[in-house]
Amino acid sequence: MEKFIKHTGLVVPLDRVNVDTDQIIPKQFLKRIERTGFGIFAFYDWRYLEDGVPNPDFILNNKKYVGSSILIAGPNFGSGSSREHAPWALSEYGFKVIISNSFADIFRNNCMQNGLITIELSNDKIDLLMSNAIKIDNYKLTVDLENQQIYDQFGFESIFDFDEFRKESILKGLDDIGLTLKFEEDIKRYEINDAKIS
């Protein structure tokens, strides 16, 4: 997994609620057998018009937000399908952090597995950051995972919750399976006992 320690990046506001994973990466792109090649299709139906031309009204196509690496969106981000292609697409697009009022469970898990940081903030903080990203040119945020802090250069500062175990893994870029296999003895014991019972 790619490490994440601290990141400063341009913020793009996606002012939509319930952004589901079908939206993040539509199904016609799920046929690939690789983990890569999804970034160009992220938000496809919103990003492109019917003839494949970029939709000028979609926020990611706005010149102001080219090169953004922090996405801020409305509540229940990542709901629906469990497709991990969604975080793969977002990462490959260039996002390192997603900020929302709330995330769907499976999506959040999938992000953790890929070192894509999900940050939940209260409604008023989301509103503030959303409007900053709209009003202020080149609006940037810094995310410090180690200290679980997020701040800008205009005085905004907040701490955020993050699973301790996941944080360690992401800071060090550890492999989840490797960590679990340290418990090989426990797994074996479980399997032996289980076989005895049934």
Partner 1 sequence: MDENLTMFEKIWRKHIVSEPTNQPSILYIDLHLVHEVTSPQAFESLRLNKREVRRPDLTIATVDHNITTDETRTQIIKDKIARKQVETIRENCKENNIELFDVWDNEQGIVHVIGPEQGYTQPGMTIVCGDSHTSTHGAFGALAFGIGTSEVEHVLATQTLRQRKPKTMKVDFKGTLSKGVTAKDMILKLIGQIGTAGGTGYVIEYSGEAVQNLSMEGRMTICNMSIEGGARAGMIAPDKITFDWMKGRNKVPKGNDWDKSVKEWKQLETDNKAKFDSYIDLDCDNLEPYVSWGTNPSQVLPISGVIPSPDDFKEILDAQSCQNALVYMGLNTGSKITDIKLDRVFIGSCTNARITDLRSAASIVEGKKVNNNVRAQVMPGSTLTKLQAEKEGIDKIFKSAGFEWRESGCSMCLGMNPDILSPRERCASTSNRNFEGRQGKDGRTHLVSPEMAAAAAIEGHFVDVRDWK
Chain positions contacting partner 1, by CB under 8 A: 16-18, 20, 22-23, 26-28, 30-35, 45, 50, 74-76, 79-85, 87, 102, 104-106, 109-110, 113-114, 163-165, 175-177, 180-181, 183, 186-187, 190-191, 194
Shortest Cβ 160–partner 1 spacing (Å): 17
Shortest Cβ 187–partner 1 spacing (Å): 6
Taking the least distance from each CB to partner 1, the nearer of 8 and 109 is 109
The pairing of strands 70-73 and 6-14 is parallel
Shortest Cβ 153–partner 1 spacing (Å): 28
Tell me how far apart the alpha carbons of residues 39 and 29 are, in angstroms, rounded to a whole number.
10
Shortest Cβ 66–partner 1 spacing (Å): 25
In the block, which residue shows the tokens 């999804």?
A: 38
Taking the least distance from each CB to partner 1, the nearer of 53 and 177 is 177
List the end-to-end C-alpha distance of the chain, in Å, as a whole number.
38
Cα 174 off chain centre by = 18
Taking the least distance from each CB to partner 1, the nearer of 102 and 142 is 102
Which alpha helices (DSSP H) does the chain contain, by range? 21-24, 44-47, 85-93, 105-113, 123-135, 164-172, 176-181, 184-197
39 by Cβ neighbours in 10 Å (0-12 / 13-18 / 19+) ranks as: middle
Taking the least distance from each CB to partner 1, the nearer of 6 and 189 is 189
- Cβ density class 111-135: b for 16+ within 10 Å, e for less: bbebbbbbbbbeeebbeebbebbee
Taking the least distance from each CB to partner 1, the nearer of 137 and 194 is 194
Shortest Cβ 175–partner 1 spacing (Å): 8
